[in-house]
Structure 1
């Protein structure tokens, strides 16, 4: 269960509360005995990149970099 802290104590001990949230705790902040906010650990927006994760899964055609006159016509119509 999340610990409840009143807003005055949260203001005076904010750094301590952030450190606890960083360690995985959830802290509920209350005003006049009513919960008004929750301090939770941040979750990364995306997974960390792993270079080489697609190795041997993707094949690039030998002619990938070639751009022929037919390609130009198809792209630009001229």
Structure 2
């Protein structure tokens, strides 16, 4: 809901108006009864993701990914103290 607030009242209750705007309310500031400015929340824009943006810029060597763990590391993972 949009509400029109006189500048004098806005100066008096500025902190409350900021909280209302931050909560999503749109507030019109009026000077001599005529709309003068708008107080709205800032919407943070997230950068658009582009799939494949780094394609060809680096190589991942995952050839050893499925190899068995060395015995010493396997013992540590399993909590064995042989």
User: TM-score, structure 2 length as denominator?
Assistant: 0.58
SS in 2 for 1:20: helix
- 1:38 correspondence with 2:38: yes
List structure 1 segments (4+ residues) > 6 angstroms apart after TM superposition: none
Equivalent residue pairs, number? 57
Unmatched runs of 5 consecutive residues or more in structure 2? 60-82
Alignment of 1:5-16 (within 5 A): 5-16=5-16
Between structure 1 and structure 2, the one with the greater Rg is: 2
Unmatched runs of 5 consecutive residues or more in structure 1? 63-78
